Amino acid sequence: MEQPASTTGGRRLAIVFAVLFVLLSAFAFVWGGIVTAGVRERAVIADRQLRSTAWRMLCAASATGEWPKDLASTATVACDVLPAGDGRWPASPAEACPGGLEPWSDGWMVIVSLDPKGVGAPRLSAGGKATGIGTLEAVNGWIEAFHQAHFAGKTAPTAP
């Protein structure tokens, strides 16, 4: 017994739509994985830049008694240890940035926000870019703890 042509055409159309749906779903899944991998890769870079910047800022503040006036001046700052912070900030570059510090560059994602009154610690951010979970809180915690320990009650110049 033969089926009417309209039923056969409807089935073909349903199969075409089903295959198209599966193909588009697979494409969306793969594309999402590619985008996610890219964001994670940039987050790792941002983390290393934030940690390296924070370490250099801490070293500069320790050496000069004030926060650096600009981030470029931290490019040449080098120190192997900081005064004991009882775990509130890293004691060595290896603690601050496992795997080694990143060489500083003008193209970094790091942005420094200043206290408008000039008495608070500077705050680091990645300019809205993705970072690892807890990285911003960690590096800003280091800077705040160091500021409280060494600059509390003083007006300290901060980086722009």
- The confidence score (pLDDT) of residue 157 equals 44
What is the pLDDT averaged over residues 18-26? 94
Residue 1 has pLDDT above 70, yes or no: no
User: What pTM does this model have?
Assistant: 0.76
Residue 160 pLDDT grade (very low, low, confident, very high; cuts 50, 70, 90): very low
Q: What is residue 131's predicted lDDT score, i.e. its pLDDT?
A: 86
- Using the predicted structure, report yes or no on whether residue 156 has a pLDDT greater than 60: no
**SS3 state of residue 112:** strand
CA–CA dist 86, 35 (Å, integer): 40
Q: What is the DSSP string of 39-92?
A: HHHHHHHHHHHHHHHHHHHHHHHHHHSS--SSGGGGGG---S-----TTSS-SS
Average pLDDT over residues 23-45: 90
pLDDT tens-place string over residues 100-143: 888 877 778 888 887 777 778 889 988 888 888 889 999 999 99
Percent of the chain with pLDDT strictly greater than 90: 26
**Statement: residue 3 has pLDDT above 60:** no
Apex CA 65: angle with CA 61 and CA 66, to 5°? 65
Q: Tell me the domain boundaries of the chain.
A: 5-151
- Is residue 26 pLDDT above 90, yes or no? yes
What average pLDDT does the chain have?
Answer: 83
pLDDT at 6: 59
Given the structure tokens 């924070």, which residue do they identify?
54
Specify the pLDDT at position 21: 94
Q: How many helices (H) and strands (E) does the chain have?
A: 3, 2
